[in-house]
Structure 1
Amino acid sequence: MTDKLRTGNPIWVYYRNQDEAYNIQPPKLLQGYYGESYHIEIPRFPRHQFMSASDNLEGQFDDQARQIYLYYRNANWQSNEAATNYLIASKPIQLYDRPQGLPIDNQLPDDIIFECFRKVITTDRHHWYQVTAERWLEFDPESMQLLDDNPYTDHVEPTTETDFDDQMQILSLNQASAHIDFIPDHQVPCYDYVYGKELYQLTHGTEITLLRQLTDTNGVNWYETSKHEYINALYVTINS
């Protein structure tokens, strides 16, 4: 029963690209009287396909505050998953700003070892690997090889964290306040060191304090927290 003497708690609706972690459009605020029904439409967006919703799209305004996320995927992406491979090529490599995106930087010489963080398969069955925060390459089976381990590990892996630090560009962050920024109700791994052993996982929205930013020779950024855990910078946003 609708009670027009009072309003229910508002509902925020977010339209989120689940793969690249950005809002497709500004969130929408729904308001209504206590007990009044609401219905959330699923809009269509160019170059996006709807995937799922975090909660029911119909209900009644009540005392509960809600945030409802509508998740979308790039229309030309078939799948997106974490990758743990290494990749080496027998010919120069062109990097791109995103799968099926624009070429960036000059071509890199062959025989460079890349660590892969994500794999995207597009609807035309091309495979793309993310090798730094904003760099992707298209897999060519004729000139590229995927490896389970870095073949040069025995030669280049530092023996101590101090040795590893010597190979990093390090920026002090003076205990900057930040939070895990991924997908609601999902988690990201924390490591004992850069490319180290996984310690545990932190949930989206968890508040953390940052001590340092570390950038490796491939341009991948990591954060060291006040608890001396290490998190890929892709999943962290510094609070404004």
Structure 2
Amino acid sequence: MSILDRLKTMLRALNRTTNDDRSATSITATEPDSANPLSVNHTDALILVHHLDADGNEIQTPDMIAGTVGEEIHLPDVSIAGYHLVHIDGLTRWFTKPQARIVLTYERQAGQPVWVYAYDIDQRQLIGRPTMYRGQLGTPYQVKAPTVAGFKLLRSVGDLTGEYTTTSKTVLFFYRNQNWQQTDLSTGFVQIKTLTAVYPYPGATTTDYLTKLQPGSTYKTYMRVRLTDHTTWYAIGDDQWIAEQHVQLTTGVALLPQLPAGYRAQTKQRVKQTGVVSFVPGKQVHTYLEPYGRYLTTVEHGETVTLIERLADDNGVVWYRLKGRGYLPGRYLTQLNPPY
């Protein structure tokens, strides 16, 4: 409903003799006027309509309504972006005197929230509950980093200051365990040198894991962490950590799948092509150091890659070598250009 329609409804409400519920917007009338108290006497009349915020500041140039005493007032259609009307003072249906005024008071609408998240950059998980900042449209905000016990702040992503708008915003704060000095997410293999206990986190001195790792066994690692006390720990699973002094690095060749007994590249040729990776939307697929060999890196679904070599083994499997990215099975490539 427009402001004009709302005001007309309010004016009709003023003429009722009952005490029926009125609009949520409060109205203060200068005098009752259930009927026109004056006949039109052709005396010029002017009403100023003021638009004020809650602090009494003008938020729009006043409107002027001209007429003659005794005539019906025709209010302007008013709509102020970012505000809604909360109070009307001095409203009458008729021009009752040569000069008068109506005061419309507005309140700012609420802006969309600013969401703040604290994130463990190494464990890749939220730490603590999200925080929501709220305020009125156009008013300023300033986001502060949450204090998270046991963690140190690294950096933030998002606008720390700004104004509340009609669009919600997000600010991410990235933290690291305060005892962690350096992390390495690259994977590899370690071989156990002595009977080794498994701990729930780096630097732990007690554990609930009853089984110890046997000398000579080999494990894949998922993260390496150097602590502030200069010790290094390896993750071999979720909440499963072992200290560096009990292991030695290894290539893990014995754990890798062996090439098929009859594997042999039947055809191998240099190519100059591009292709589009086709795997699962939003996911990555591994490339290999050599066909059927160790993982080298990953490529994104939908990514355009440069192909420099094509080969097929005696099982009929086609492989392509990506420039600087290793080998990828041909079934993960589409839109070859040129198509040969």
Q: What is the Cα-based RMSD across aligned positions, in Å? A: 3.0
Inter-CA distance 195–60: structure 2 relative to 1 (3 Å threshold)? farther
Would the aligned equivalents of 1:130 and 1:136 in 2 still touch at CA under 8 Å? yes
Tell me the residue number matched to 2:168: 65
* Residue from 133, 141, 144 that aligns with 2:238: 133
1:130 CA drift (Å): 0.9
Inter-CA distance 195–11: structure 2 relative to 1 (3 Å threshold)? farther
Runs of 4+ with >6 A deviation: 192-195
1:56-135 to 2 correspondences below 5 Å: 56-101=159-204, 102-103=206-207, 104-135=209-240
Bigger Rg, structure 1 or 2: 2
Instruction: Give, in whole Å, the separation in 2 of the partners of 1:138 and 1:7.
Output: 53
Q: TM-score, structure 2 length as denominator?
A: 0.46
Amino acid at match of 2:171: I
**Unpaired stretches in structure 1, ≥5 consecutive residues:** 161-178, 181-187, 203-227, 230-240
Between 108-117 and 96-105, the greater mean CA deviation after superposition: 96-105
**Unpaired stretches in structure 2, ≥5 consecutive residues:** 1-58, 60-81, 84-106, 261-280, 302-330, 333-340
* Residue from 111, 118, 133 that aligns with 1:8: 111
1:155-234 to 2 correspondences below 5 Å: 157-159=257-259, 190-191=285-286, 196=295, 198-201=297-300
Instruction: Give, in whole Å, the separation in 2 of the partners of 1:96 and 1:195.
Output: 28
Would the aligned equivalents of 2:287 and 2:299 in 1 still touch at CA under 8 Å? no
Would the aligned equivalents of 1:32 and 1:61 in 2 still touch at CA under 8 Å? yes
SS at match of 2:187: coil
SS at match of 1:79: strand
Tell me the residue number matched to 1:150: 252
Q: Higher relative CO (CA 8 A, sep ≥ 6), structure 1 or 2? A: 1
Amino acid at match of 1:130: A
Instruction: Give, in whole Å, the separation in 2 of the partners of 1:10 and 1:151.
Output: 53
Would the aligned equivalents of 1:189 and 1:198 in 2 still touch at CA under 8 Å? no
1:158 CA drift (Å): 4.9
Inter-CA distance 124–8: structure 2 relative to 1 (3 Å threshold)? same
Amino acid at match of 2:197: Q
Matched, 1:32 2:127: no
Inter-CA distance 200–17: structure 2 relative to 1 (3 Å threshold)? same
Instruction: Give, in whole Å, the separation in 2 of the partners of 1:60 and 1:98.
Output: 41
Amino acid at match of 2:221: C
Q: TM-score, structure 1 length as denominator?
A: 0.63
Alignment length, in residue pairs?
175
1:159 CA drift (Å): 4.7
Structure richer in strand, relative to its length = 1
1:38-85 alpha-carbon deviations (Å, 9 max, x no partner): 111223222111111111211111123211111111110011221232
Would the aligned equivalents of 2:193 and 2:216 in 1 still touch at CA under 8 Å? yes
